[in-house]
Amino acid sequence: MSTSSTPVNLDAVIIGAGFSGMYQLLSLRDKLGLSARVLEAAGGVGGTWYWNRYPGARCDSESHSYSYYFSKELLQEWNWTERYPQQPEIMRYLNHVADRFDLRRDIQLDTRVKSAHYEAQHNRWHVTTEAGEVFHCTYLITAVGCLSSANVPKIDGLNDYAGDWYHTGQWPHEGVDFSGKRVGVVGTGSTGIQAIPVIAAQSKHLTVFQRTANYSIPARNAPLTDEFKQYAKSHTDDIRHIMNSNTNAHPFYITDRSVFDVSNEERKQIMETAWKKGGLEFRAAFRDTLIDEKANKIVADFIREKISEIVKNPATAKLLGDIDHPFAAKRPPVDSQYFETYNLDHVDLVNIRETPIEKITATGIKTKNHDYPLDIIVFATGFDAMTGSLLKIDIQGRNGLALKEAWYAGPRNYLGLQVPGFPNMFTVTGPGSPSVLCNMPPAIEHHVDWITHCIKDMREKGIQRIEAQEKAADDWVLEVNHAANSTLLPSATHSWYLGANVPGKPRVFMPYAGGFAKYQKIVSDATSNGYVGFTLS
Ligand code: NAP
C-alpha cells in the first residue's frame, strides 16, 4: 500500500473488478504489456454479482451466452449447470477467471476510489482512494457497472424501524434468515420478481408492496442437458456470431415477422410456443413488439391473460395485470413462479399506487389505510443506474471540469466511450452505449476490445491523448435520443432507463437503443476512418 506522498505510477487504472474490469486488466496487461491495476471497493471480484446476492438472484441471460468469449480454452473448460446461472455459480465463474488468468495480483480489493483528476501539465490522471493512496496513470478506465449504486428510497421513519431492513443490491454475505418472520418486499422489478417467490417459501408471511405492476415471462429454468452443453461447446463461433450480429447480443435473432403478418390463431400459437419456451426470447417472437403500439398491445394482452389464468384471486390478478406501460418498454423480468406465489395463503399484495406508503414506523410500514407489522423489510427498489456509480466519484477533467457539472443535464458523451474534456478516460458500457439493453458480456467485450485497440494504436503512433470532440458528443446525444424515440421505450416514463426512478435525476434516455450490431458498425466506421469525432494529439 502506498501513502499519499508516494504515488504509484501506472499506465492504467481500472475502476471495478466485475466482468469489465477483469477483462480490461487482462487485455492491457497481457496483450499490450502495460502496467495496470484494478481498484475495487468490494472484498472480492464479481462486480454487481458480488453485491446482488439476494434470495433468487439469477441471471436473465442464458448461461452459455453469459460468458466471456475471448478465450476458446475458457469456453471449453467451464461447465454451466443451469439454463440461467444463479449468483453463486456466476461468482464461481468470475473467481475462476481471476485465478485462471492470474488477475488477482493486479486487483486491489477493499479500495474505494475517491477522486480522479486529470493533470494536463503531465497528461496524467491523479487518482486517490478513500484510504489516502495515490496513483498516477495515463489511462483511466471506469468499469463501475451500470447497476451498482443501490437506490434506497427516502421514506420517513426508516431510522426508527426496529426490525431489520435490506436493499437487495447490498445483501449481507451471511444471508438473511426469514423463517418464522413477517416480511415486506417493496418493489416489483426484475429483482423483486426473482426474490419474492424465494422469500415467500422461507417466511411466515409475506406482504408485497407494489407501486407499478409489471409484465414477467416464465424463465423455464432447468438443468442443462448433456446435449445442450455439447451443442454450446461445439458451436462457440456460431453463437458468438449470432450475439454480435443482432439487436440485444443474446444468442437468438428477433424474427422478421410482424404481429400483423399472421392470423389470430397463428399469432396465438406463436405466443404460446414462446411462452412455453420462456425467457427474454419471448420478446423476439415478432419484430414490431417494441416499435408499434398496436402490436405491443396484442402481446401485452396475451401476458395479461396469462396472469389472470395463473392468479386465482381475481382482485389480486387484476392488480397484477393493471400494467401502465407497453410490454418491454421497461426491462422485462423473467421469473420462476412469480405470479403463482400470489396463490399462497400467506402472501398478500398491497397497491401502494392507490394508497402510498406514508411512513415506516418502529413496527412496520404504514399506508394511508393500514399498518403492516413487519419483522423484515426488503427494498428491491433498484439502482441509480448507469451514472450513479460514476458520479459518486469526484472525477475532474481538463481545467477542473467536474463530471457532475458536465453531466448536469444528463450524460453527454461520444459513442458511450469518452466524454469531451476528459482526455484518456474511457467508460466501459457507460450511458450512450447499448449496454443494459444487451446481454452484458458481449457488450463489455466489445468496449474492452475497442479501448485496448485504441490504446495500442495510440502507443504505436506516439499519440499521447485521445478525447471526444464536443460536436461529436452533441451529435451522439441526438442519435441516442433519436434511437430511443424510434421505439416505445421512452413511453415507460418512470423507468430507470430514463433516470426517472431516482428523485431529482435528469430525465434522459441513457442507453443506446439502435441495436448492438448497428452500434458496433458505427464505432468501427468512426475508428477505421481515423477516429472520427475524437481529437488525437
Ligand atoms: P427496478 O427495475 O428499478 O425496479 C424497482 C422496483 O421498486 C419497481 O417496482 C419500483 O416501482 C419500486 N420502487 C422504487 N422506488 C420505490 C419507492 N420509493 N416506493 C415504492 N416502490 C418503489 O430495479 P430492479 O428490479 O433491481 O432491476 C433493475 C435492473 O437490474 C433490471 O431492470 C435488470 O436490468 C437488472 N437485473 C437483472 C437481473 C438478472 O439478470 N438476473 C436481476 C435483477 C435485476 P416503480 O416501477 O413504480 O418505480
**Last residue in a domain, options 379, 406, 433:** 379
Q: Is the pLDDT of residue 143 over 90?
A: yes
421 and 516 belong to one structural domain: yes
Range of the domain at 271: 158-379
Q: What's the confidence (pLDDT) of residue 4?
A: 55
User: Considering the domain boundaries, does residue 85 fall inside one?
Assistant: no
Average pLDDT, the chain: 97
CB neighbours (10 Å) of residue 385?
27
366 and 389 belong to one structural domain: no
Q: What's the confidence (pLDDT) of residue 204?
A: 98
Ligand 1 atom index nearest CA of 436: 34
Ligand 1 atom index nearest CA of 501: 48
Distance 166 CA to ligand 1 centre (A): 14
Let me know: does 303 contact 217? Beta carbons within 8 Å.
yes
User: Considering the domain boundaries, does residue 492 fall inside one?
Assistant: yes
361 and 508 belong to one structural domain: no
Q: What is the mean pLDDT of residues 122-128?
A: 98
Q: What is the mean pLDDT of residues 140-166?
A: 96
Beta carbon of 149 within 6 Å of any ligand 1 atom: no
364 and 435 belong to one structural domain: no
Beta carbon of 382 within 6 Å of any ligand 1 atom: yes
364 and 412 belong to one structural domain: no
Let me know: does 64 contact 232? Beta carbons within 8 Å.
yes
Beta carbon of 194 within 6 Å of any ligand 1 atom: yes
199 and 249 belong to one structural domain: yes
The structural domain count of the chain equals 2
Angle of the 19-26 helix axis to the 87-100 helix axis, nearest 10 = 10
User: Considering the domain boundaries, does residue 70 fall inside one?
Assistant: no
Beta carbon of 377 within 6 Å of any ligand 1 atom: no
Beta carbon of 167 within 6 Å of any ligand 1 atom: no
Angle of the 236-244 helix axis to the 440-461 helix axis, nearest 10 = 80
Cα Rg of the chain, angstroms: 23
Q: What's the confidence (pLDDT) of residue 5?
A: 66
216 and 349 belong to one structural domain: yes
Distance 194 CA to ligand 1 centre (A): 11
pTM exceeds 0.95, yes or no: yes
Give the residue carrying C-alpha cell 453463437: 239
Beta carbon of 153 within 6 Å of any ligand 1 atom: yes
Q: What's the confidence (pLDDT) of residue 376?
A: 98
Euclidean distance between CA atoms 159 and 377, whole angstroms: 13
Q: Where are the beta strands (DSSP E) in 269-308?
A: none
Helices (H) and strands (E) in the chain, counts: 16, 20
Beta carbon of 494 within 6 Å of any ligand 1 atom: yes
Euclidean distance between CA atoms 179 and 351, whole angstroms: 25
Q: What is the mean pLDDT of residues 499-518?
A: 95
Distances (CA, A) of 495 to 132, 332, 385: 37, 11, 10
Supply 83's cell numbers: 439454463
Beta carbon of 350 within 6 Å of any ligand 1 atom: no
Beta carbon of 495 within 6 Å of any ligand 1 atom: no
Q: Where are the beta strands (DSSP E) in 448-496?
A: 466-468
User: Considering the domain boundaries, does residue 52 fall inside one?
Assistant: no
Q: What is the mean pLDDT of residues 41-50?
A: 98
**Last residue in a domain, options 325, 355, 379:** 379
Ligand 1 atom index nearest CA of 353: 47
Q: What is the mean pLDDT of residues 488-512?
A: 94
Give the largest Cα separation in the chain, rounded.
74
321 and 403 belong to one structural domain: no
Distance 186 CA to ligand 1 centre (A): 9
Distance 188 CA to ligand 1 centre (A): 6
Beta carbon of 181 within 6 Å of any ligand 1 atom: no
DSSP string, 389-404: HHHTSEEE-GGG-BHH
User: Considering the domain boundaries, does residue 2 fall inside one?
Assistant: no
Beta carbon of 65 within 6 Å of any ligand 1 atom: no
Q: Is the pLDDT of residue 332 over 70?
A: yes
Q: What is the mean pLDDT of residues 492-503?
A: 92
User: Considering the domain boundaries, does residue 82 fall inside one?
Assistant: no
pLDDT band per the 50, 70, 90 thresholds, residue 67: very high
Q: Whose CA is nearest to atom 4 of ligand 1?
A: 189
From 185, 501, 507, 510, mutation site for ligand 1 pocket: most ligand atoms within 8 A of C-beta: 501
Beta carbon of 496 within 6 Å of any ligand 1 atom: yes
User: Considering the domain boundaries, does residue 309 fall inside one?
Assistant: yes
Beta carbon of 435 within 6 Å of any ligand 1 atom: no
pLDDT band per the 50, 70, 90 thresholds, residue 167: very high
Q: Is 14 helix (H, G, I), strand (E, B) or coil?
A: strand
List pLDDT tens digits, range 243-291. 999 999 999 999 999 999 999 999 999 999 999 999 999 999 999 999 9
User: Considering the domain boundaries, does residue 89 fall inside one?
Assistant: no
Q: What is the mean pLDDT of residues 501-524?
A: 96
Q: What's the confidence (pLDDT) of residue 196?
A: 98
215 and 301 belong to one structural domain: yes
List pLDDT tens digits, range 187-241. 999 999 999 999 999 999 999 999 999 999 999 999 999 999 999 999 999 999 9
Supply 422's cell numbers: 476528459
Q: Whose CA is nearest to atom 2 of ligand 1?
A: 189
Task: Assign residue 402 the CATH number of its domain.
Answer: 3.50.50.60
Beta carbon of 419 within 6 Å of any ligand 1 atom: no
226 and 119 belong to one structural domain: no
267 and 342 belong to one structural domain: yes
358 and 418 belong to one structural domain: no
Ligand 1 atom index nearest CA of 382: 23
CB neighbours (10 Å) of residue 228?
16
Let me know: does 65 contact 439? Beta carbons within 8 Å.
yes
Let me know: does 337 contact 278? Beta carbons within 8 Å.
no
Q: Residues of the chain with pLDDT > 90: what percent?
A: 98
**Last residue in a domain, options 332, 359, 379:** 379
Beta carbon of 48 within 6 Å of any ligand 1 atom: no
| CA 346 from centre of chain | 32
